[in-house]
Chains A and B, each alone.
Chain A
């Protein structure tokens, strides 16, 4: 007799999410065990310094609620995250929302600049053979320069000219994010097949008409694919740009302050904020992609 299976077991949603849920659960369990193991000596040291008698239970509890643990337990991180998001007004410097907004504004400005630069470069490259051959290798080389290395200089130089705050950070994230867009858009602009290009030629279309009627529409899927890559990269750029510059606000500044003062829980909750921000931004781009796709008649 075959094993009786209840209906929910074979539901597609369950089938799809069961592995993910299992692995996430395993990861959380491993995290808890790790937290106990890594904080154990710390907590024991604390008890012994006070020469207070302690039980195993107290020791375990201590590892779960240490103030400056080596590895905070998941519930501590979540608790700190929720407290710093909802516990303060969004403009208070202790509120994560405030820091996230600072980083987000730099990210979005940088992303916009990067996308613009990326598309313009791709257009230039597609339309000029000389530019393609002289510029393309240097564009690839530009990403070999560790931009983070350039971050402090940008800040110093732009600061000397009188630019401060948002723009230096945005320039760094633009520098990082233009690359995937250029590469993707060059691919996208050249994606129409020769037959279609020939058809445009038989209609004696100008290169501008070819661009707006053929190249641009067929590049849209490539555009969104590279925008998704670029937006996370520009977030990374904005966060990292805050590190060497001694920024006072932003997720990167929170990371730096947390590491100076050994506030591990603060570091972790800033990381969670960065993760939330990254997935939120990707979700927005995907949403726009679906909308645009539907408007352009994509079958999804």
Chain B
């Protein structure tokens, strides 16, 4: 998108706000309910139009920052309007016009931001981080405004702010669920499954016959819907966390086996010959050559397993739990139509999953810094 289009976008956003001055805000309202009649919003409208005017006039980063400030004030204005019981639930064209303006302005800003070609690498990193964050913020804003403006019943879809409020209000319960599902079920099962997979892979690498037999089987098993064993594990290990850990261990075992085996075979012939010429024992070769060469593959499996593990634990909870755990809470609260609690649990699971994945990725960066894909 070139500069002219960006300028046009800002002017369009300003026009959106100006049109709003004439349109009704709530559905059933009199014309008095328009933006014009409220002194504060009338003032804000003027400020926003002015800001967008500036944004259209400036170039580069300053235009973007001014545009974002304008979009932010506009977003705040819609949220302020939503506090009015007349508007919340049956907002009319005027309100939606402002929302469209917010969307348009922030979209233009993100596009302009992505088009910047910064010189310093720190600045570029900041932009790379800012773009997805702003995109996410816009998505959450639209969700919030649509749910509250159109009056979507909370039993269908709660607004993000309601879910966040519920999240903050029920921290102890969420903490207990987190410990039950994540610390006990996921982490223990993950540790067992991944280390068992790695161990078997090493054995299969040491004894070729075993390897040739295990590889096709491992490939076959890792394609199966293994979470289906959850009811069996609950039957064997009881309702508490051991059965969840067992499911997680089983689900994570095969991806690790297959990947680690491929990784152990990734060491080059020349390096292997070198180890032989040093007279290294198998244990030495394993520690100094095979395992380091396999690390990128092992981390790949660890990352795949990080998502699989959480799924496995939550599914296992559908088959029976002591009255705790993310999966248990989700299924019971969904049954009671308490969707804000469900979304709070989902946020918890998502945050836990992302942090877990992030930690694995950080460990990968620290341990396989030598690999070409990390140096790029």
Contact of B157 among A16, A146, A157, A270 (CB under 8 A): A157
Secondary structure call for the B interface? helix
Q: Are A267 and B314 interface neighbours, CB within 8 A?
A: no
On chain B, the residues within 8 Å of A279 by CB distance are 220, 223
Q: Are B231 and A146 interface neighbours, CB within 8 A?
A: no
Q: Are B319 and A256 interface neighbours, CB within 8 A?
A: yes
Q: Are A20 and B314 interface neighbours, CB within 8 A?
A: no
A70 to B232, CA, bound (A): 8
Tell me the smallest distance from the CB of B150 to a CB of chain A, in Å: 14
A57 to B111, CA, bound (A): 77
A160-179 at interface with B (beta carbon < 8 Å): 160-161
Q: Are A138 and B132 interface neighbours, CB within 8 A?
A: yes
On chain B, the residues within 8 Å of A267 by CB distance are 228, 231-232
Q: Are A145 and B349 interface neighbours, CB within 8 A?
A: yes
A252 to B231, CA, bound (A): 11
A161 to B335, CA, bound (A): 16
A259-299 at interface with B (beta carbon < 8 Å): 259, 262, 264, 267-268, 270-271, 274-275, 278-279, 282
Closest B residue to A68 using CB positions: B235
On chain A, the residues within 8 Å of B326 by CB distance are 146, 149
A124 to B342, CA, bound (A): 32
On chain B, the residues within 8 Å of A136 by CB distance are 132
Q: Are A274 and B214 interface neighbours, CB within 8 A?
A: no
Contact segment of B48-56, B88-96, B289-297, B350-358: B350-358
| Residue of B212, B220, B343 with most chain A CB atoms under a 10 A cut-off | B212
Q: Write out, one digit per residue, whether chain B residues 322-364 have a CB within 8 A of any chain A CB (1) or not (0).
A: 0000110011001101010011011001100110010000000
Q: Are A153 and B334 interface neighbours, CB within 8 A?
A: yes
Q: Are B132 and A130 interface neighbours, CB within 8 A?
A: no
Secondary structure call for the A interface? helix
B79 within 8 A of A: no
A20/B231 contact (C-beta < 8 A), A144-B357, A145-B353 known: no
| Residue of A21, A150, A270 with most chain B CB atoms under a 10 A cut-off | A150
Q: For the complex, count residues of A whose C-beta is within 8 A of B.
A: 55
On chain B, the residues within 8 Å of A200 by CB distance are none
A70/B157 contact (C-beta < 8 A), A146-B353, A153-B334 known: no
Contact of A149 among B210, B230, B330 (CB under 8 A): B330
On chain A, the residues within 8 Å of B217 by CB distance are 20, 23-24
Q: Are B232 and A20 interface neighbours, CB within 8 A?
A: no
On chain B, the residues within 8 Å of A141 by CB distance are 350, 354
On chain A, the residues within 8 Å of B216 by CB distance are 20
Contact of B228 among A23, A150, A255 (CB under 8 A): A255
Contact of A240 among B114, B223, B224, B227 (CB under 8 A): B227
Tell me the smallest distance from the CB of A249 to a CB of chain B, in Å: 16
Closest B residue to A129 using CB positions: B114
A235 within 8 A of B: yes
A274/B350 contact (C-beta < 8 A), A133-B128, A259-B231 known: no
B32 within 8 A of A: no
**Interchain residue pairs with CB less than 8 A apart (18):** A19-B214, A70-B235, A130-B111, A135-B135, A138-B136, A146-B326, A146-B350, A149-B330, A149-B345, A152-B330, A153-B342, A235-B225, A243-B318, A244-B318, A244-B330, A258-B231, A270-B228, A279-B220
Extra 6 A-B pairs, beta carbons < 8 Å, given A149-B345, A235-B225? A130-B131, A144-B350, A146-B349, A148-B314, A148-B318, A153-B339
Q: Which residues of A contact B (CB under 8 A)?
A: 16, 19-24, 70, 129-130, 133-138, 141, 143-150, 152-153, 156-157, 160-161, 232, 235-236, 239-240, 243-244, 251-252, 255-256, 258-259, 262, 264, 267-268, 270-271, 274-275, 278-279, 282
